[in-house]
Structure 1
Amino acid sequence: MQDLSKVIKAYDVRGVVPDELDDAIVGAVGAAFARLAQNDIVVVRDMRTSSPQFLAAFAEGVTSQGYDVIDAGLGSTDLAYFASGKLDLPGAMITASHNPAKYNGLKLCWPGAKPVGQDTGLGQIRQLIEEGIPVHDGARGSIIARPMADDYAAYLNSLVNLTGIRRLKVVADAGNGMGGHMAPIVFAGLPIDLTPMYFELDGSFPNHEANPLDPKNLIDLQAKVRESGADIGLAFDGDADRCFVVDENGEPVPPSAIVALIATRELAKAPGSTIVYNVITSRAVPEIVAENGGQSARTRVGHVFMKSLMAETDAVFGGEHSGHYYFRDFWRADTGMLAALHVLAALGESDLPMSKLVAQYSRYTASGEINTEVAGVAATLAKVEEHFAGREDVELDRMDGLTVVLATGWFNLRPSNTEPLLRLNVEADNETAMADLRDEVLALVR
């Protein structure tokens, strides 16, 4: 057995295949998870080259412990969450999300799509494997095929009504990931004219990496939207749990604006509800939530923290600036496809072009995330904190890294979970103020 510390991360299992992650580890994770869950497990896989063999290995591990594997088929991560919620079973998704082709991994959840993280199961799974998983002395479990993509699509469409909207021209870039499989099923019969880009499933990602957070991976979509005169462009990551939007001019729409747009729609359905956002989301979000009669709750970056606070506050919706959108109606799990349906409905119900529609949700200028490798993460954070602490009218908090709020803007500087990096996000009233604050912080960091 290889070193598990390299592959069992804070929120998932992930590594380079086969150097770090192989059939033996995946099978052991399956056996340990089944033993811990004491339940059958529903499994979905993506299109990566190693995913079929990892599905077989994981299923071997689960069934060796006497539990069944419900094979929900080829699909997106949010299909796995849907299956876990619908069947009230633990779930597993075989994917490495947006990582390059040489990676693969597993995302796990408890029944009802509740997250499995280091403190909620992954640590115990690792311990079980390292100590040696006991041999089950009863009958083996079985593998039961139960495709659920059609049920998933019907459920999403039951949550957002697109009948009666104006017909839209939509370009969607799946990056050869699972969006190419799921989008045609979800969008079938809707009043949209869909132009598919890179819908062919290919785990080698021959056109570009399936990571729309990186601007270079949006270039093809932006060009196609402009060239075709489309109303909107959608970009999905490799496992299609995140969705990014470009407007009719091919300009990227800030995910925080999408958070505010969807929050407004959800508050119209559930007045006075809570909306959860994280420390790097635009301050426009809590402002717009308050203007629409809602309550805001702020948390750390990451799906475990988002889902936990949503459960605690019974929030109707939560959104992160990374393109993850969480819905109470979807077991508090994140789903890029449901977010896309909300955006299409909002656009189709409006006479405005996308750029004008989202302008009302974009109030400030943001830097985007800037990563810097540093020798001493803690010392650098302390230096930046000391630099700003003495100023008047400054607010500081350490909820997640360091957040500093000034009169004309704010920034968050937080460490990476896996690398000696500091991640900087800056937002201010205008471009000049943002650039000045960004450069001041970077001068300290670098």
Structure 2
Amino acid sequence: MQGLSCFKAYDIRGQLGSELNEDIAYRIGRAYGQYLRANTVVVGGDARESSPVLKLAVANGLRDAGVNVLDLGMAGTEEVYFATFHLGVDGGIEVTASHNPIDYNGMKLVTHGSRPISGDTGLFDIQRLAESADWIESKEQGRLQKINLKKDYAEHIVSYVNVKNFTRPLRLVVNSGNGAAGPALDHIESQLKLLGIEVDFIKVHHQPDSTFPNGIPNPLLPDNRADTAEAVIKYQADMGIAWDGDFDRCFLFDENGLFIEGYYIVGLLAEAFLSKESGAKIIHDPRLTWNTIDIVTENGGTSVQSKTGHAFIKEQMRKEDAIYGGEMSAHHYFRDFAYCDSGMIPWLLVSELICKTGKPLSALVDERIAAYPSSGEINSKIDNPEVAIKRVRDFYQSKAINVDETDGVSLEFDKWRFNLRCSNTEPLVRLNVESKGDDELMSKVTRDIIELLRG
């Protein structure tokens, strides 16, 4: 078989038909089972029309490799992570294309303990085996069993907050984007009620719908934010929450319907965890750092920088025994969640913080945004990215007080800093700029760097 182009650095993603189909999904399942010598594996799938079919093909491949399969049905990526560590099985596979176009699908793979399987931890070995189909015949076919862990999952998710801190009722707008988040949220809502936590959920695009009538759920795109923002204002909610298709990322809106950049949520969650465990370690990525470092230091914690990307952050968290790790891209990782990312734990912690402080969400973040204004991530499609990055670096480096190469290049000056890096997944150069309390300076140097970068 020709090379499988759906294998990427961190996961599997491809266009339906040409890059990913039932035969390829079967091969991936069979190769995964054989390579890991697994006994039992959980599988789940998002709300896409193709997910149940591909999930069954993966399960058949696993079973022909002698692996017993536990099928979660429709589930978000974090439900597969949870099932894998909660049940102590050998691994998990989530069939999802997250926020990719409707004619795509993919998979996220983990091994025992929900450790990620990426390019340097076996993913490309699985690819080679799937391509060669050099199968070892199994003595007997594995069993397939359907299971429902949503109640156990909801109980675990709600355990991250203290019931006593919810001193007033909350109203939250929740936008599942017709993805897999809706059913999981319903179980979390039931668990909150059971504990006496009063939350009024205003549900937008709540029911899973494989046609995605309101567009592919990707709140990173400004065009996809209006429905959440408008509902927050209409219902005078305390906060708005929106998820991507497999809900491993959540995006927050304040009580005025304003979208909050993920960078500032990292600082909020760091503060929330340090109030629970003094002196804990917090992991962050190098793109935007000053606000996070400032909050962690203020609250008696230790900040540790990691290369961008879930595999790197999870590895660093394990190494440091960090309680929490956050990326500005709205991925948030938790030690007690097997160091995995969750899109449900963050909004619960922020809700708790709103109650504890007695402040609206805008008050919790506006001060931080003013202290460290940032550009947000600006992407440029450039023919020779390495040459362009070198051009920018050569121009600024002599004036920099610190140069860091953890991920791409970060140059730091007295009042501002920037990070410039090539995307791991797309032909793009990504720029992030921040300053110390000077929005005008941040905007000016951002324009200057873009002009230099794009030649």
Residue 118 of structure 1: CA displacement?
Answer: 0.5
Residue 3 of structure 1: CA displacement?
Answer: 3.3
Change (3 A) 1:137 1:239: closer
Residue 358 of structure 1: CA displacement?
Answer: 2.4
Tell me the residue number matched to 2:229: 222
Counterpart code for 2:12: V
Counterpart code for 1:65: A
Tell me the residue number matched to 1:349: 356
Tell me the residue number matched to 1:8: 7
Tell me the residue number matched to 2:431: 424
Tell me the residue number matched to 1:407: 414
Counterpart code for 1:264: E
Aligned equivalents of 1:257, 1:342: Cα separation in 2: 14
**Which of 306, 310, 314 is equivalent to 1:307?**
314
Moved more, 347-356 or 317-326: 347-356
Residue 156 of structure 1: CA displacement?
Answer: 1.0
Aligned equivalents of 1:20, 1:10: Cα separation in 2: 16
Deviations 1:377-427 (A, max 9, x none): 111111111111122x43222211111111221111111223331111111
Residue 213 of structure 1: CA displacement?
Answer: 1.2
* Aligned counterparts, 1:29-428, within 5 A: 29-39=28-38, 40-89=40-89, 90-163=91-164, 164-188=166-190, 189=193, 190-362=197-369, 363-391=371-399, 393-428=400-435
Deviations 1:241-279 (A, max 9, x none): 111110011111222221111111211222111100001
**Identity, % of aligned pairs?**
37
Contact (CA 8 Å) 2:288, 2:432: kept in 1 or not? no
Contact (CA 8 Å) 1:31, 1:133: kept in 2 or not? no
Contact (CA 8 Å) 1:212, 1:236: kept in 2 or not? yes
Contact (CA 8 Å) 1:69, 1:144: kept in 2 or not? yes
Aligned equivalents of 1:159, 1:395: Cα separation in 2: 37
Matched, 1:17 2:12: no
Find the residue that maps to 1:144 and give its secondary structure. Answer: strand
Normalised TM-score (structure 1): 0.97
Counterpart code for 2:385: V
Aligned equivalents of 2:384, 2:185: Cα separation in 1: 44
Residue 214 of structure 1: CA displacement?
Answer: 1.3
Aligned equivalents of 2:77, 2:138: Cα separation in 1: 33
Find the residue that maps to 1:128 and give its secondary structure. Answer: helix
5+ residue gaps in structure 1? Answer: none
Change (3 A) 1:138 1:373: same
Moved more, 268-277 or 414-423: 414-423
Aligned equivalents of 1:373, 1:203: Cα separation in 2: 31
Aligned equivalents of 1:377, 1:277: Cα separation in 2: 25
Aligned equivalents of 2:423, 2:138: Cα separation in 1: 43
Residue 60 of structure 1: CA displacement?
Answer: 0.5
Matched, 1:438 2:446: yes
Residue 240 of structure 1: CA displacement?
Answer: 0.5
Counterpart code for 1:146: I
Counterpart code for 1:178: A
RMSD (Å) for aligned C-alpha atoms: 1.4
Aligned equivalents of 2:295, 2:392: Cα separation in 1: 30
Aligned equivalents of 1:100, 1:425: Cα separation in 2: 26
Normalised TM-score (structure 2): 0.95
Residue 131 of structure 1: CA displacement?
Answer: 2.7
Contact (CA 8 Å) 2:279, 2:302: kept in 1 or not? yes
Residue 360 of structure 1: CA displacement?
Answer: 4.4
Residue 182 of structure 1: CA displacement?
Answer: 1.3
Aligned equivalents of 2:147, 2:153: Cα separation in 1: 12
Find the residue that maps to 2:134 and give its secondary structure. Answer: coil
Residue 2 of structure 1: CA displacement?
Answer: 5.0
Moved more, 178-187 or 119-128: 178-187
Contact (CA 8 Å) 1:261, 1:361: kept in 2 or not? no
Aligned equivalents of 2:123, 2:323: Cα separation in 1: 27
Contact (CA 8 Å) 1:388, 1:394: kept in 2 or not? no
Aligned equivalents of 2:368, 2:115: Cα separation in 1: 30
Q: How many residues align?
A: 444
Counterpart code for 1:24: D
Aligned equivalents of 1:2, 1:57: Cα separation in 2: 19
Deviations 1:58-90 (A, max 9, x none): 001000011100112211111111011111220
